[in-house]
Amino acid sequence: MAVSLREYRARIKSTQSMKKITRAMELIAASRIIKAQQRAQAAAPYARELTRAVSAVATYSDVDHVLTTEPENPQRAAVLVITSDRGLAGAYSSSVLKEAERLVGRLTEEGKEVDLYLSGRKAEAYYRFRGRPVAHSWTGFSDSPTYDAAAEMGATLIEAFLNGAGGAEATDSEIAGVDEVHVVFTRFISMLTQEPHATRLLPLEVVEGVEQPEDSDLLPLYEFEPSAEEVLDALLPQYVVSRIYFCLLQAAASELAARQKAMKSATDNAEELIKKYTRIANQARQAGITQEISEIVGGVNALADANAGSD
């Protein structure tokens, strides 16, 4: 009896320390979410102004740009999968990967070859383990993405898109060309809901009504300097990068929310376990005491019987 009591006490202790860890992670995630949301808010004005500028150019000039033209007969697609660097965030990474697999399946069915671009160690580990070739991967910033990271990803993806699948052999670049670029990331809907989401990044569907300016301030007739083409040339890549940055920020907020939720349920679970083990331990302790008492009583009775016999 005493042995199992000690065992239960040890189990309670280890659960308690585990609870402390998960509680700490929960609190860290919670405080970082606020920072992630602030960052998303801080990035919003840039995205808004950029969208305004792009729609201004798109509305008042019918310039065709490479980044907006649909290649005929697309053969190759790039998929950018945004996951986390670390685990312990519940189903966060695996649901993004599931969504990515679905998208890859669909693209393959349409007869396109798929190049994988990954962000986050979890995605890297997933595809490396399965021996699937990966075109490029970025890691190390999943819970606090910087604009520079987005710019780097944007530059690589735009280069891939500009290379184009058709003229792949003509370019000396090491980045294989693609005809379209998709992004799979997790949309942050609320603290409780985040959903994996796949969207096409390139070719751009200009002005997807991301944030329409209000009717009251209709876009004025702009002058473009040096020319509409050149302005568009400079605007669109930045627009793409800002979209990627938006995805990264959303993913970061989702990751932290998912981690907070997972750690909260882990903490609750640990509490439950501690309660259960404490009960069992108390029971065991009580059983030990009861046994001792009954042994003593039994011993006393036996002595009394013996004494009565001898009298």
Partner 1 sequence: MAVSVGTGLQVEMVAADRVVWSGEASMVIARTVEGDLGILQGHAPLLSLLTDAAVEVTTPEGVVHAAVDGGFVSVSDDRVSILTERALLAEEIKIDEVHAELESAEHLPTGDEREMRLRRAEARMRAYEASRG
| Binding interface with partner 1 (CB under 8 A) | 39, 42-43, 45-46, 49-50, 52-53, 56-57, 146-147, 151, 217, 219-226, 230-231, 234-235, 238, 241-242, 245
Do residues 135 and 115 lie in contact, with contact meaning Cβ atoms separated by under 8 Å?
A: yes
For the residues of 120-169, what is the DSSP string, one character each? Answer: SHHHHHHHHHTT---SEEE-S-TTS--HHHHHHHHHHHHHHHHH-STTGG
Ramachandran region, residue 65 (left: φ > 0; alpha: ψ -120 to 50; beta: rest): beta
Beta carbon nearer to partner 1, 53 or 66? 53
Beta carbon nearer to partner 1, 87 or 237? 237
Beta carbon nearer to partner 1, 68 or 94? 68
CB of 217 to partner 1, least distance (A): 7
**Pick from 47, 106, 110, 103: nearest CA to 74:** 110
CB of 102 to partner 1, least distance (A): 31
CB of 45 to partner 1, least distance (A): 5
Per DSSP, what are the bridge partners of residue 186?
196
**Pick from 76, 77, 72: nearest CA to 100:** 77
Beta carbon nearer to partner 1, 178 or 235? 235
Structure-block tokens of residue 14: 């280890």
**Pick from 51, 82, 84, 83: nearest CA to 181:** 82
Beta carbon nearer to partner 1, 36 or 178? 36
Per DSSP, what are the bridge partners of residue 268?
none
Beta carbon nearer to partner 1, 213 or 298? 213
CB of 35 to partner 1, least distance (A): 12
Position 182: which residue type?
H
CB of 119 to partner 1, least distance (A): 18
Which helix (H) or strand (E) segment is 306 a member of? helix 228-310
Position 80: which residue type?
L
CB of 49 to partner 1, least distance (A): 5
